[in-house]
Amino acid sequence: MPAEDTETRRRRLRYQASYTGMKETDLLLGRFAAQYLDQLDDSQLDDFEALLDAGDSQIYAWVIGNDIVPDAFDTDVYKLIKNFK
């Protein structure tokens, strides 16, 4: 399978961010993706993708402060999301 180009990756991540499975994270991450994904570099896209893979309930708990964000996810991208809300 050929490597995914950056624009295709951004489209896929926008879709995934909008349909996480939990309405609260759909709204937060979908809006964030629409506004910021075009500005993120490949490393930041990696961080965003890893965050999505962590699961919507975890992301929601981190963003609202009900759980401590593990160091692996406490990235510049997470901080953008946290400030975006």
Please state, as a whole number, how many other Cβ atoms lie within 10 Å of the Cβ of residue 68. 9
Sign (positive/negative) of CA torsion 18, 76, 57, 64? negative
| Sequence spans of domains, the chain | 6-84
Q: Of 68, 13, 74, 77, which is closest to residue 40 (Cα–Cα)?
A: 77
Whole-prediction pTM: 0.91
Please state, as a whole number, how many other Cβ atoms lie within 10 Å of the Cβ of residue 32. 19
Is the model's pLDDT at 17 over the cut of 70? yes
The pLDDT tens digits for 22-73 are 999 999 999 999 999 999 999 999 999 999 999 999 999 999 999 999 999 9
Question: At the fourth CATH level, which superfamily is domain 6-84?
Answer: Flavinator of succinate dehydrogenase (1.10.150.250)
38 DSSP 8-state letter: G
